[in-house]
Amino acid sequence: MRHLTVYLYPACGTCKKAKKYLEQHGIPFEEKHIVKEPPSKDELKGFVVKSGLPLQKFFNISGKKYRELNLKERLKTMDDEEKLELLASDGMLIKRPIATDGDQVTVGFKEETFDDTWRNE
């Protein structure tokens, strides 16, 4: 049985859905509070590589912090290292939940993605 780590924010509706999904399907996981224990810059870099997603997809674009920092404009001129440092500095900027077993990574919650990634042993 694989070891799943899920970075989430307890008040986040999407995170609650993901957590409920995992519990209903009997998929054991370790919960990490994305603000109190945000993934490090190196962990984030690994997540980007393993997920196959562009770095941009790791930003919580609907978040208040994202808008306050005017990241829609600022990210256009930042390189990947700067983006990773910014994400690692504040868990509220990271799209959530992030689930990983060390080999695969999912960002956000879509039931079919969880079915494909975490239910097929």
Residue 4's region, left for phi above 0, alpha for psi from -120 to 50, else beta, is beta
Residue 8 has pLDDT above 70, yes or no: yes
**CB contact at 8 A, 7 and 94:** yes
pLDDT in tens, 90-119: 999 999 999 999 999 999 999 999 999 998
Q: Domain containing 87: what range?
A: 4-119
User: Which residues contact residue 52 at a Cβ distance below 8 angstroms, ignoring those fewer than 6 apart?
Assistant: none
pLDDT at 2 (0 to 100) = 72
Q: Could you give the number of structural domains in the chain? A: 1
User: Which residues contact residue 85 at a Cβ distance below 8 angstroms, ignoring those fewer than 6 apart?
Assistant: 41
For residue 108 the two structure tokens come to 């956000």
Cα–Cα distance between 95 and 112 in angstroms, integer?
18
> For residue 73, what is the domain's CATH number?
3.40.30.10
pLDDT in tens, 23-78: 999 999 999 999 999 999 999 999 999 999 999 999 999 999 999 999 999 999 99
pTM above 0.85, yes or no: yes
**Which residue bears the tokens 């995992």?**
22
Residue 1 has pLDDT above 60, yes or no: no
The secondary structure element, H or E, covering residue 88 is helix 80-89
